[in-house]
Amino acid sequence: MKQTTNATFDQTVYNPVLFTSYKIAKKLIKYSFYIALIYFAYEGFMAWD
């Protein structure tokens, strides 16, 4: 039984600069989401009487 959904990722096909910029953009989006979540939670907590 062969698994076709999890294909091995070949880094040699892609440009390494594009790959690193993709990884950096992915981290930036993830951490900006966390910062926005913490910010809105803080604002909601401070507005809570």
pLDDT of residue 9: 60
Q: Which structure tokens are listed for 46? A: 């401070």
pLDDT in tens, the chain (49 residues): 555 665 566 555 668 888 899 999 999 999 999 999 999 999 999 988 7
Distance CA 28, CA 37 (A): 14
pLDDT of residue 4: 60
pLDDT of residue 44: 92
Please tell me the number of Cα atoms within 13 Å of 4 on its side-chain side.
0
pLDDT of residue 3: 58
Contact status, residue 21 vs residue 28, Cβ threshold 8 Å: no
3-state DSSP assignment of residue 48: coil
